[in-house]
Structure 1
Amino acid sequence: FGLGNGLAVRMQDTGISPYLLGTIPYILTLIALVGLVGRTTPPAADGIPYEPGTE
C-alpha cells in the first residue's frame, strides 16, 4: 500500500487527475490480492475438531 501511495505522490506533476492518483494504492493492493488467490493452501487440519489429549 505504501508503494502505491508513494507512486501516486510522485506522479502528481504529470497532469493526471488527483482523484485517479488517489486510487493507485487501492488498485495495486487489489492486484496483489488477486495474484495470491489460488496459490495458497489451507491448513492440513482445517475442519477437524480439536480433541485434547489425542494426537
Structure 2
Amino acid sequence: MSNEYDWHARIISKNRITVPDMIVREWGLNEGDIVHVNIRRSVKLMRDVII
C-alpha cells in the first residue's frame, strides 16, 4: 500500500495540517487520524504512511 500522491495542505501548527476533502474521502480519514508526510520546501506534501 505505497501509493503516492502530491497535494497541497495548509500547516495549522507544528502537528496539525489541513487535508483536502478528496484525500479524506479516498483514505477514509477521521478527525484526529495520524498522517505521516514528507514536507518539501515548496510546502507540497507527499503521503508516506497512514497509521
Q: TM above 0.5, one fold?
A: no
Per chain length, whose mean CA-contact separation is higher, i.e. which structure has more relative contact order (CA < 8 Å, sep 6+)? 2
TM-score w.r.t. structure 1 length? 0.21
TM-score (norm 2): 0.22
Larger-Rg structure? 1
